[in-house]
Amino acid sequence: MKINGSQIVIECLVEQGVDTVFGYPGGNILNIYDALYKNSDRITHILTAHEQAAAHAADGYARTTGKVGVCMATSGPGATNLVTGIATAYMDSSPVVAITCNVATFLLGKDTFQEIDITGVTLPITKHNFIVKDVKDLARTIREAFLIAKSGRPGPVLVDIPKDVTAAVCDFEPLPNGDDGSAALVAENSNFNRVMTVAVPTDDEIRRAADIINKAERPIIYAGGGVKLSCAEKELLAFAEKAQIPVSESLMGRDVFPASHPLCTWMVGMHGTRASNMGITESDLVLALGSRFSDRVIGDPDKFASGATVFHIDIDPAEVNKNIKTDGCLVGDIKAILQRLLPLVEKRERKDWLSKIDAWKKEVPKSYSVVKADSVNPKFMLETVHKIAGDDAFVTTEVGQHQMWTAQFYPFMKERTFVTSGGLGTMGFGTGAAMGIQVGNPGRRVVHIAGDGSFRMNCNELCTIARYNLPIVIVLVNNGTLGNVRVWQKLFYESRFSHTTLDFGPDWKKLADAYGVGYVHAGNNDEFEAAFGEAFRAGRPFIVDTRVDIDEMILPMAIPGKPIDQQMME
């Protein structure tokens, strides 16, 4: 059948199982938006207040549904407004397809109004990107984009379509019902170098890895976001329990192992627990699963696990020996590798090693239990949110102190319930992500933990939350400062608080009222428990304005560049 490029986009999205897209219209993408209007019974469009939020929403949708997230924007500034969201998805390996529409092909390269080389701009922050200059290539390109986004180590792909291509007509051959075209694309391209081929370790390699694990007396697992991407949480639990190996987690891996499990030591690194940091420092084997040894985890690379064998399991060979020299590795899908390792790993008790771990778990800062009459204790705040929201709730954050407190104190019990910007550290990420998660998971609740500094960057999205009546509860951690930066200014810049104090509004209640969003204030622990309970039970968009002391710190804290066992506890 003959259809135009805009309808081809719709047909290809439907083939790929897309039911929702996030975006913002503009002149050069109008043809696609007209097609969305005509096909509103097949694809839902969520209009955000800003294109960046559309990218973050697609990202949050992808991280929690297991599907590829889709966002759309017009040319020029519309496309560039997606860039931060695309980069965030790239750093955290999230499968997103971004569709932009450029000026007509005959106007490219002429500094045309709202023209930009968005494929050039996004080249370093996408798995791959395309500009489609012939409508005959459009269907194949979109199908290829989805295959690339979700294959191997996931990541974002951008497809830029000039306006005249969206209007041009050509023959379109739909795929067989239920087929996304992946098999045909791979079959036609024996050298499909844009798709990461997943390696499969040999039986000998698996046996050697099992032998290394079985010989260790003080092993510890360092679990990263790759465990989540591989859906290997159940395999990790069975593996850790059989071999009795404690499990430390990166920020991106905070929800891959049940927080209440005796083997869980929670987060490792700059703001990691004493048990995780000392466990890695004193171990004789660090088994890294789907983690990239971020600088925020390893501190001084020469002192990180200096007495241990470091064994790395990851789907991406580029991560092996990138930040830390390893003593061995397995490259492949973590879920499949753990399934093969499990029968070969010996059942152990490790009483002495686990006793040490348990002793380190008891070493916590005194500030954890401090109760003040005029502010809310962060630990109490996060534990109260969990008590009321329960294990099924999704938790998103912005970036800053509140993010680290969430990672430190929230007892995540279920997989894929924690969504945050890890690699890029994007202030402004969480509100958009929360919207995408709530749209993609309408039967579950989303709690968004947002610092007042970050929330200033995206509070315009309250109009989106209100318009679609998304029952997101925003816990506004209001300490009147850019808290994380203030701490560094206090420690390393002799308390010169240069432009980090936020004592100039807005009035958050008036803002909530303006958008038709619920509001309640909490000035101490007792008020917070009542306020959050009221907001959560309301079942509609709500802000819980939570007063936290301006000088509250994130503790423990390892000094940047120092060994991670050298932690400030007070």
For residue range 441-499, what is the model confidence (pLDDT) as tens digits?
999 999 999 999 999 999 999 999 999 999 999 999 999 999 999 999 999 999 999 99
Paired tokens of 387: 């008590």
Per-residue model confidence (pLDDT) at position 194: 54
Judgement on whether residues 373 and 281 belong to the same structural domain of the protein: no
Closest CA to 473 of 449, 441, 453: 449
What pLDDT does residue 438 have?
Answer: 98
How far apart are alpha carbons 279 and 363 in whole angstroms? 13
Report yes or no on 63 lying in a domain: yes
User: CA-to-CA distance for 252 and 153, rounded, in angstroms?
Assistant: 15
pLDDT score recorded for residue 184: 82
In a domain, 71, yes or no: yes
Report which residue type is found at 307.
G
Cα(first)–Cα(last) distance of the chain, in Å?
A: 70
DSSP strand pairing (567-568 vs 557-558): antiparallel
Amino acid 560: pLDDT: 85
DSSP letter (8 states) at residue 28: G
Whether 97 and 210 share a structural domain: no
Residues 422 and 459 in one domain: yes
Does residue 259 belong to any structural domain of this protein? yes
460-491 burial by CB neighbour count: b if 16+ within 10 A, else e? ebbbbbbeeebbbbbbbbbbbbbbbbbbebee
Residue 430 lies in a domain: yes
Residue 476: domain span: 366-554
Q: How far apart are CA 346 and CA 213, in angstroms?
A: 9
At residue 505, the pLDDT reads 86
Token digits of residue 58: 């697609």
Q: Which of 361, 382, 397 is the endpoint of a domain?
A: 361
218 and 315 both lie in a single domain: yes
354 with 410, same domain: the answer is: no
219 with 148, same domain?
A: no
**Secondary structure (3-state) at 158:** strand
Q: Is residue 248 part of a domain?
A: yes
pLDDT of residue 18: 98
| Among the listed residues 98, 35, 44, the one whose alpha carbon sits nearest the alpha carbon of residue 70 | 98
Show the tokens assigned to 141: 């390109």
Q: CA of 281: how far to CAs of 74, 224, 278, 362, 526, in Å?
A: 50, 18, 5, 17, 39
For CA atoms 121, 125, 128, 129, the dihedral sign is negative
**Domains: count for the chain:** 3
Q: What is the DSSP letter of 264?
A: E
Q: What is the structure's pLDDT at 182?
A: 85
Q: Does a structural domain hold residue 196?
A: no
With beta carbons less than 8 A apart as the criterion, state whether 116 and 75 touch.
Answer: yes
Give the predicted TM-score (pTM) of the model: 0.96
> For 536-550, what is each residue's pLDDT tens digit?
999 999 999 999 999
Helices (H), 92-171: 118-122, 138-150, 163-167
Asked if 123 contacts 87 with a C-beta cutoff of 8 angstroms, the reply is no
In CATH, what number is assigned to the domain containing residue 542? Answer: 3.40.50.970
Q: What are phi and psi of 480, to 5 degrees?
A: 65, 25
pLDDT at residue 478, as a whole number = 98
Q: State residue 387's pLDDT score.
A: 98
225 and 122 housed in the same domain: no
The domain boundary residue, chosen from 361, 382, 401:
361
Residue 128 CA to residue 378 CA, distance in Å, equals 41
Q: What does the pLDDT read at residue 36? A: 98
Phi, psi of 403 (to 5 degrees): -65, -45
Residue 303 sits at φ, ψ, to 5 deg, of -105, -5
Same-domain check for residues 389 and 536: yes
Return mean pLDDT, the chain: 96
In a domain, 256, yes or no: yes
Looking at the structure, do residues 346 and 286 belong to the same domain, yes or no? yes
pLDDT at 186: 76
Same domain, 115 and 218: no
Q: Which of 296, 329, 361 is a domain's end point?
A: 361
Q: Are residues 135 and 244 in the same domain?
A: no
Per-residue pLDDT for the chain (570 aa), expressed as one digit of tens each?
A: 999 999 999 999 999 999 999 999 999 999 999 999 999 999 999 999 999 999 999 999 999 999 999 999 999 999 999 999 999 999 999 999 999 999 999 999 999 999 999 999 999 999 999 999 999 999 999 999 999 999 999 999 999 999 999 999 999 999 988 888 888 887 776 555 556 679 999 999 999 999 999 999 999 999 999 999 999 999 999 999 999 999 999 999 999 999 999 999 999 999 999 999 999 999 999 999 999 999 999 999 999 999 999 999 999 999 999 999 999 999 999 999 999 999 999 999 999 999 999 999 999 999 999 999 999 999 999 999 999 999 999 999 999 999 999 999 999 999 999 999 999 999 999 999 999 999 999 999 999 999 999 999 999 999 999 999 999 999 999 999 999 999 999 999 999 999 999 999 899 999 999 999 999 999 999 999 999 999 999 999 999 999 999 999 999 999 888 999 999 998
Q: What is the pLDDT of residues 181-240, one digit of tens each?
A: 888 887 776 555 556 679 999 999 999 999 999 999 999 999 999 999 999 999 999 999
Q: What share of the chain is helix, strand, coil (3-state, %, to 5)?
A: 40, 15, 40
The rounded distance, in Å, linking the Cα atoms of 237 and 262 is 11
Q: Give 337's Cβ-side CA count (13 Å radius).
A: 29
Q: Is 570 inside a domain boundary?
A: no
Asked whether residue 273 falls in the same domain as residue 254, the answer is yes
CATH number at residue 285: 3.40.50.1220
d(CA 284, CA 498): 44
